[in-house]
Structure 1
Amino acid sequence: MARNPSPKKRIEELRAQISHHNEQYYGTDAPEISDAEYDLLMRELRDLETQHPELADEQSPTESVGAAAITTFDPVVHRVPMTSLDNAMDESELRAWGERVAKGLDGQPVRFVCELKIDGLAISIRYENGRLVQAATRGDGKVGEDVTANVATIRGLPSVIKDAPEVLEVRGEIYMSTAAFQKMKAEREAENLERVANGRAPLSVPVNPRNAGAGSLRQKDSAITAQRDLSLWSYQLGEVVGGPEFTSHHSTLEYLQKYGFPVNPEITMLDSIDSVLQFCQTWQERRHELPYEIDGAVVKVDDLAQRELLGFTSRAPRWAIAFKFPPEERHTILQDIQISVGRTGRVTPFAVLEPVFVGGSTVGMATLHN
């Protein structure tokens, strides 16, 4: 009978696994497991580290955000760190967060800003004297990658803003719409049919809009990025020099709209955790009505002074949380297993499926190399 590993060994295993998956997700845009599976690994590691504080390590994935930037692009040090968010996986965890907020504020009335959690790539866009000078990915929260030329191709993003402060850093999410993803996917699949017919190995086909958008943003040639029809929702300010004083989060969103930055129209102000939960449940049911992918909702305390009182943990603000939707699963029929043979003789098996809509796209084929 197999013995369970010791807490020390299991923690080491989890840290290694999570670090690997961070690199696959953030570094190479090629995740090997679902978000739900990743969340379970991270949660197990956090629980073990809480139970065994003597095994704490500052280099643990629980103490960091994302993954270190790889060397495709020049590194950018974020002047204001781009922190991650803690997750609430169900109603009880969302209510528990609400109780912690209320306790931290000694029962003060709280207004919440509820936002859709866009399934894209976090970005920092910096303007100096009204001109776009730099755009960087989140990376590990401290250092990201310079993707300025690629971000500049996004339609709807102003390259120059009038009457702007000396420094204005806009943060948001770059994403690929469902329509843009389906177009890219269809083009790639058509190209693969031709490649297979000519005895060449098929190219990889992005499995969802998030992966396609992240890969498109990190192209070495910005002309390719320009063809991918990426979009942006801006959701907060980073560094601001010479701008007005703000007292609430919703006023910063109004400020972003004033300068022409796209702000999601579904953002809602609410006064209770009950209404916040209703917002989350409504959009979980309506998520596929949107022309882009979401994987949850983000809930933030609106009052900036209250945020100061609540502060941060080592990796995330106490005044915000991400409510994660459960993973989607669908059953379908395996119609055939086919083999493609590349020019080098490499054999790649793939499954032909009865088309099924899941995760924001219609899936009709799946590689079997795993």
Structure 2
Amino acid sequence: MDRLTAEKRMEELTKLIERHNRLYHEEDRPEISDQEYDQLVRELIALEENFPELAQPDSPTKRVGGAPLPFFEKVVHKTPMLSLGNAFSEEDLRDFDRRVRQAVGNQAVRYVCELKIDGLAVSLLYENGLFVKGATRGDGTTGEDITQNLRTIRSIPLRLRRPLSLEARGEAYMPKPAFEKLNKEREERGEPLFANPRNSAAGSLRQLDPKIAASRQLDTFIYSIGDLQGESVESHSEGLDLLESLGFKVNPERRTYSDIEEVIAFINSWTQKRPSLPYEIDGMVIKVDSYAQQEELGFTAKSPRWAIAYKFPAEEAVTILEGIEVSVGRTGTVTPTALLKPVSLAGTTVKRASLHNEDIIREKGLLIGDHVVVKKAGDIIPEIVAVLPERRTGDETPFSMPTHCPECGSELVRLEDEVALRCINPMCPALIREGIIHFVSRTAMNIDGLGEKVVAQLYNDGIIHSVADLYYLHQQRDVLLGMERMGEKSVDNLLAAIEASKENSLERLLFGLGIRLVGAKAAKVLAEHFGHMDGIAQAQEEEFTLIDEIGPKMAASLYQYFRQPQAEAVIERLKAAGVNMAYKGVRVEGGENLPFSGKTIVVTGTLSAMSRQEAEETIARLGGKVTGSVSKKTDLVIVGEKAGSKLEKAEKLGVAVMDEAGFLQILENNG
């Protein structure tokens, strides 16, 4: 075939493939089979291989997946992808409506209601109509570049119908039929099954090999415009119409209402209808339609005030408690887990449920063999909510917690004021293994490629004995290559991720060490206060207690941890490996110019415009330090409704008091 003929045929194929793509994904009326569609794509691929200079950047062949990626680049979102506040009842929705109407005064309000797709939030960037970058939500500020994987999803247009530059945000998901097909194939191959469509979608898009993502039959619904150039829209509903006109797939089950009761009726109708959908939803999203009103309502530190996510009531099911197993966590806590006869619940198969501790088992009166009622809290965590003693046959048996650690055999203890049993042997394999798993987790040192199975294998094979050993794995590259499912690229990516983690700020390392009672927030406070690991390690117990957020129990835990010879040895080895020991964070922006800079503030009572946590986060953002008790050191007490003893103590001590209206005025004046 000559060049001119090839160019003409490639244009024909591109138009033909895109037409069938549109018929399938947008109009739901396919005219050809999947095999015929694939044949058209294969013909175009062959022509592009023979005439590479004619291949276009928005060619449909980009959807089949290219070469595997070495790692995911980080992407900073121009506008943060904030999470939504949650509503769990009709009254929560009415409270949301009251807050909105109070804030906008006498203006009419319209709400857009959309199905809340249970998938992975993504951002799609277009320049002059061409798809140039796609990213995960990540932590809301920084995500991962998954452009090559997103290109494989047919419902994402590679070229818009008009050459606009914009950012579109939506949800990538796996349809139920595709999920069932995938799990059936994995079962036949003896591979572990995905728990639910959401996990399978997220796992597919975080594959370094785009061909895997291309094989998973993912889909999308786009739900908002993050940025738009060259055109303007005045409402969310207009924005959805624009997205649809540009070729995006927008969920058709959306409605606009002026009355919150109409919103509630719409939600209730879908509470019953949700099983009929070919994809999973876990609730409904309600947004103020007018962009002007959205701007007027603004944001809290975590979420927009003009939107809320209603979560469907947790589903319940009856099954049988077949057994109880115990496991040892990184702090030595021995946790019982219910082993259930598999039961379908909220779109997933549930086989296990947390029992938290021995007292829960006793309080619920659980016996092995009992019929139990299981529900998913927030459609996520399975829990046993009730026992059905009337169904007992007499064959049920009681359960007793072990007296010795199931991992190392040491005698278990119950510390003062604690419910849980603990293994206090510092050399217990479970403590060390789980501690390493925590160290590499996303909220700690964030080392990609070190999942639970890999860590367990490295530890069980004697390759690592502590978190410090991770930073010397480059010396054992050949050993890593000999491990199951660890090829050269996997090993190189893992070593690169370990190397990159050396640059983390101190608070991540401090949290990753797994010091008892020290969570992520306390680690940040300590890192900012001391500035360097040496300062924390050398501090006396009394120095910790001088920090408002550090209580006496945490202070004792910190002091004891850094006096352990094995802890000192681990930190010295981390230093020798080049792991950063300094705080890299920036102190609150604006410094002394912020309204609460240098002030110690207590929030008490019920606030109508935001939760207590949101208020405290906002105060911290504006330079203040929030504490839980009123003292002579307190500079200001912010009071909501039903403020009690803290208000009385503030008045007695002569501490300044501010009501919610005054607080909101300061927030308004400071954006």
**Scaled by the length of structure 1, what TM-score is found?**
0.70
Quote the residue 1:251 is aligned against: 238
Q: Which of residues 279, 284, 298 is equivalent to 1:311?
A: 298
Q: Is the 8 A contact 2:109 2:288 kept in 1?
A: yes
- Asked if residue 262 in structure 1 is aligned to residue 249 in structure 2, the reply is yes
Query: Distance in 1 between the 2:162 and 2:220 partners?
Result: 22
Quote the residue 1:9 is aligned against: none
Quote the residue 2:192 is aligned against: 204
Amino acid at match of 1:173: E
Amino acid at match of 1:264: N
Query: Distance in 1 between the 2:291 and 2:198 partners?
Result: 31
Deviation, structure 1 residue 72: 4.7
Query: Distance in 2 between the 1:177 and 1:100 partners?
Result: 36
- Asked if residue 157 in structure 1 is aligned to residue 144 in structure 2, the reply is no
Alignment gaps of 5+ in structure 2 = 1-69, 325-337, 357-671
Residues 325 and 248 of structure 1, relative CA distance in 2, 3 Å threshold? same
Quote the residue 2:264 is aligned against: 277
Instruction: Report 1:199-348 matches (<5 A).
Output: 203-242=191-230, 244-333=231-320
Amino acid at match of 1:271: S
Instruction: Report 1:175-190 matches (<5 A).
Output: 175-190=173-188
SS state at 1:332 partner: strand
SS state at 1:331 partner: strand
Instruction: Report 1:44-59 matches (<5 A).
Output: none
Amino acid at match of 1:187: E
Deviation, structure 1 residue 185: 1.2
Q: Is the 8 A contact 1:84 1:315 kept in 2?
A: yes
Quote the residue 1:115 is aligned against: 114
Query: Distance in 1 between the 2:275 and 2:122 partners?
Result: 24
More relative contact order in 1 or in 2 (CA 8 Å, sep 6+)? 1
Residues 352 and 297 of structure 1, relative CA distance in 2, 3 Å threshold? closer
- Asked if residue 84 in structure 1 is aligned to residue 62 in structure 2, the reply is no
Deviation, structure 1 residue 361: 4.2
Q: Is the 8 A contact 1:182 1:361 kept in 2?
A: no
Amino acid at match of 2:299: F
Query: Distance in 2 between the 1:227 and 1:259 partners?
Result: 26
Between 326-335 and 75-84, report the one with greater CA deviation.
326-335
Deviation, structure 1 residue 164: 1.9
Query: Distance in 2 between the 1:187 and 1:352 partners?
Result: 24
Query: Distance in 2 between the 1:171 and 1:289 partners?
Result: 25
SS state at 1:330 partner: strand
SS state at 1:297 partner: strand
Choose between structure 1 and 2: higher strand proportion.
1
**Scaled by the length of structure 2, what TM-score is found?**
0.39
Query: Distance in 2 between the 1:179 and 1:256 partners?
Result: 26
Give the total of aligned pairs. 274
Deviation, structure 1 residue 91: 1.0
Deviation, structure 1 residue 204: 2.9
Query: Distance in 2 between the 1:298 and 1:250 partners?
Result: 13
Measured against aligned partners, the alpha-carbon deviations of 1:266-288 in whole angstroms (never above 9, x if no partner) come to 01011101011111111111110
Query: Distance in 2 between the 1:367 and 1:313 partners?
Result: 34
Between 323-332 and 261-270, report the one with greater CA deviation.
323-332
SS state at 2:250 partner: coil
Deviation, structure 1 residue 241: 2.0
Amino acid at match of 2:123: S
Query: Distance in 2 between the 1:177 and 1:362 partners?
Result: 16
Query: Distance in 1 between the 2:353 and 2:315 partners?
Result: 19
Quote the residue 2:135 is aligned against: 136
Measured against aligned partners, the alpha-carbon deviations of 1:75-105 in whole angstroms (never above 9, x if no partner) come to 0011111111001111111110100001001
Amino acid at match of 1:213: A
Measured against aligned partners, the alpha-carbon deviations of 1:32-67 in whole angstroms (never above 9, x if no partner) come to xxxxxxxxxxxxxxxxxxxxxxxxxxxxxxxxxxxx
Measured against aligned partners, the alpha-carbon deviations of 1:213-256 in whole angstroms (never above 9, x if no partner) come to 111111010000011111000011012222x1111111111100
SS state at 1:279 partner: helix
Amino acid at match of 1:284: T
Deviation, structure 1 residue 123: 0.4
Query: Distance in 2 between the 1:94 and 1:116 partners?
Result: 15
Amino acid at match of 2:85: D
Quote the residue 1:357 is aligned against: 344
SS state at 2:91 partner: helix
Amino acid at match of 1:98: D
